[in-house]
Structure 1
């Protein structure tokens, strides 16, 4: 499995209705995409939910590299290149993928991003316990991806209702416009 995300940061005065319409008209095109476990079409809006900026930030979990390669190199990703230009794509290895049967009802996701500190052993690392955190009873999905090249991680928690979480440098609350499975 492979996690993939690109973050398109948009101007503060950008009309986010453009992104909403884009997803409404095209989001279903990745429904059933070969090799895709899921794609969450994520946005932030400046001034909403404590956000400081506008962004379009899709998050993918691929079951295999073939599906991701097809998406990137067979013309599907060209829509992003045409609309937003060259984007840095973050890649992560899924460590935890725990999705509730009601996962498709998710309307919000909180991303907790951080660094994995140098340690003598990763055997009992706290990331392995990420699904057992406070508030997990309302959570419809827990996904943790890490990148050992940069020793960074992102922990995504999916919710049907907006959680009472403050935005910070390492915590982002996204609205989900569509989930492809």
Structure 2
């Protein structure tokens, strides 16, 4: 899942950075959480036109997601208003060699599935272009069957040397990964 709180271009992102520094460890042992990347976008950095706080999560089970949304998420809603929360059905997860390295960068790619195309082959095509290796920490591919979109979230231990213009890029300020090792890997169907 991911929510993105877009902030004014002149917003002092040090406020968000402080929030993450003070509260980020609260999810370091969250039940049911595979991984949370405390991600931000900054206007003028990596092609971003906006400032945003946009964490994303890989959940081990719906109970963990529910306990977060119906509990601590209220502080987000109180401080920033209640943002829409995107959620997808997992299609694959791949971890690279050194998952103990700390991710500092993330990319998101969203691709609409072509109309009248069976979803399986379209998802397989995305899976064939994974970034395993070359600085990638882990990567999740998921599907929104309402919009028929495939999303690929990749965490990187360093920004890639080439940024694809179709990617949305994020700086990662903290990662909580209490149950990452327990998430199933590979193709999930």
TM-score (norm 1): 0.88
1:111 corresponding residue in structure 2: 108
Relative to 1, partners in 2 of residues 1:18 and 1:131: Cα closer, same or farther, differing over 3 Å? Answer: same
CA contact (8 A) 1:106 1:140 kept: yes
**Distance in 2 between the 1:55 and 1:46 partners?**
8
Q: After alignment, is 115-124 or 171-180 more displaced?
A: 115-124
Distance in 1 between residues matched to 2:111 and 2:125, nearest whole Å:
15
Query: Is contact 2:32-2:63 (8 Å) kept?
Result: yes
Partner of 2:183: none
RMSD: 1.8
Corresponding position of 1:30: 27
For residues 32-66 of structure 1, give each alpha carbon's deviation from its aligned partner in whole angstroms, at most 9, with x where no partner exists: 10111111110010011221110000101111111
Q: Distance in 2 between matches of 1:57 and 1:160?
A: 18
Query: Where does the alignment leave 5 or more consecutive residues of structure 1 unmatched?
Result: none
Please give the alpha-carbon distance, in whole angstroms, between the structure 1 residues aligned to 2:97 and 2:74: 32
1:60-139 correspondence runs (5 A): 60-73=57-70, 75-100=71-96, 102-103=98-99, 104-125=101-122, 127-133=123-129, 136-138=132-134, 139=136
SS of 1:162's partner is coil
Q: Does the 8 A contact of 2:97 with 2:133 survive in 1?
A: no
Which whole-Å CA distance do the structure 2 matches of 1:18 and 1:39 have between them? Answer: 19
Distance 2:131 2:93 in 1: 17
Count, aligned residues: 175
Contact kept in structure 1, 2:41 and 2:48, CA below 8 Å: yes
How far apart are the structure 1 equivalents of 2:133 and 2:50? 30
Does the Cα contact within 8 Å between 1:108 and 1:174 map onto a contact in 2? yes
